[in-house]
Chain A
Amino acid sequence: MSVTIVSVVVVYLLVTIAIGVWATARTKSTSDFFVAGRSLGMFVVAMAVFTSIQSGFGVLGGTGLTFDAGFGGFVAGIGFAAPLGFVLAWFLVAKRMWRLANLGEIYTLGDVVEARYSSRGVRGWVGFAVALGVIGYLGVQVQATGVIMAAIFPIGTTWGAIIGLGVIGLYAVGGGIIAAVYTDLFQGVIMVGVSIIVVFLAINAGGGVLNITETLQGSDPALASPFGTVPMLTIACYLFLFSLGAAGQPQLLTKFLMIGDTKELKWGALTSALAYLFTMLLVAGVGLSALALSIQGNFPELDTPDQALTRFFTEFTPPLLAGLGLAGILAAIMSTGDAFLNLGAAALIRDIPRSLNVPVRNELLWSRVVVVALLVLSLLFSLYLDTLVALLGVFGWGTFAAAIFPSVVLGLVWSEATKQGAIYSIITSIVLNFVLEIGARYEFTPLPEGVVNGAFTLAVAIIVFIGVSIVTRTEETSPEVKRVFEG
Chain B
Amino acid sequence: MELSNRLIYAMLGLVVLMLIGMLLSSWRVILYPLILVIGISILFGYTRELPEKKWPLMVAGSIVTLYGLLFILLDIMTGGEPTGSTNYVLGMTPPMALYIIGFPLLVVLAGVLYGLTFKQEDVQEVVEEREVSAEAAAEDEGGAR
Partner among B44, B83, B100 whose Cβ is within 8 Å of the Cβ of A221 = B83
Q: Which residues of A contact B123 (CB under 8 A)?
A: 102, 260-262
Q: Mark B56-77, 1 if CB is under 8 A from A, else 0.
A: 0000000000000000001000
Q: Mark A212-246, 1 if CB is under 8 A from B, else 0.
A: 11000100011011110001110111011001100
Number of chain B residues close to chain A: CB under 8 A: 72
Instruction: Verify A466–B22 contact, CB threshold 8 A.
Output: no
- A104 closest partner in B (C-beta): B130
Partner among B30, B34, B47 whose Cβ is within 8 Å of the Cβ of A486 = B47
Q: Which residues of A contact B118 (CB under 8 A)?
A: 265-266
Instruction: Verify A225–B91 contact, CB threshold 8 A.
Output: no
CA distance A80 to B106 in the complex (A): 10
Q: Which residues of B contact A99 (CB under 8 A)?
A: 121, 126
Instruction: Verify A487–B44 contact, CB threshold 8 A.
Output: yes
- The binding surface of chain A is classed by DSSP as helix
CA distance A459 to B30 in the complex (A): 10
Q: Residue A113 at the B interface, CB < 8 A?
A: no
Q: Residue B142 at the A interface, CB < 8 A?
A: no
Q: Residue B55 at the A interface, CB < 8 A?
A: no
- With A237-B22, A269-B111, A483-B133 as known contacts, state yes or no: A224 contacts B93, CB within 8 Å: yes
Q: Which residues of B contact A270 (CB under 8 A)?
A: 108, 111-112, 114-115
| Number of inter-chain CB pairs below 8 Å | 218
Instruction: Verify B8–A80 contact, CB threshold 8 A.
Output: no
CA distance A284 to B114 in the complex (A): 27
Partner among B26, B30, B115 whose Cβ is within 8 Å of the Cβ of A269 = B115
CA distance A247 to B40 in the complex (A): 14
Instruction: Verify B93–A213 contact, CB threshold 8 A.
Output: yes
Partner among A76, A239, A244, A482 whose Cβ is within 8 Å of the Cβ of B31 = A239
Q: Residue A460 at the B interface, CB < 8 A?
A: yes
**Nearest CB in chain B: distance from A203 CB, A:** 9
Q: Mark B39-55, 1 if CB is under 8 A from A, else 0.
A: 00110111111000000
Instruction: Verify A226–B95 contact, CB threshold 8 A.
Output: yes
Q: Which residues of A contact B25 (CB under 8 A)?
A: 233, 448-451
Q: Which of A83-91, A131-139, A151-159, A307-315 contacts B (4 or more CB under 8 A)?
A: A83-91
Q: Residue A413 at the B interface, CB < 8 A?
A: yes
Instruction: Verify B108–A225 contact, CB threshold 8 A.
Output: no
Q: Residue A277 at the B interface, CB < 8 A?
A: yes
Instruction: Verify A221–B82 contact, CB threshold 8 A.
Output: yes
Instruction: Verify B44–A240 contact, CB threshold 8 A.
Output: no
Q: Which of B89-145 contact A (CB under 8 A)?
A: 90-93, 95-96, 98-100, 103-104, 106-108, 110-112, 114-115, 118, 120-123, 126-127, 129-130, 133-134, 136-137
Instruction: Verify B82–A222 contact, CB threshold 8 A.
Output: yes
Partner among A217, A269, A466, A480 whose Cβ is within 8 Å of the Cβ of B93 = A217
Chain B contact residues, CB within 8 Å of chain A: 2, 4-5, 7-9, 11-12, 15-16, 18-19, 21-28, 30-31, 34, 37-38, 41-42, 44-49, 74, 78, 81-84, 88, 90-93, 95-96, 98-100, 103-104, 106-108, 110-112, 114-115, 118, 120-123, 126-127, 129-130, 133-134, 136-137
A-B pairs, 4 with minimum CB distance: A209-B91, A270-B111, A91-B45, A226-B99
Chain A contact residues, CB within 8 Å of chain B: 71, 76, 80, 83-84, 86-88, 90-92, 95, 98-99, 102-103, 208-213, 217, 221-222, 224-227, 231-233, 235-237, 239-240, 243-244, 247, 260-263, 265-267, 269-271, 273-274, 277, 280, 284, 410, 413-416, 447-451, 455-456, 459-460, 462-463, 466-467, 478-480, 482-483, 485-487
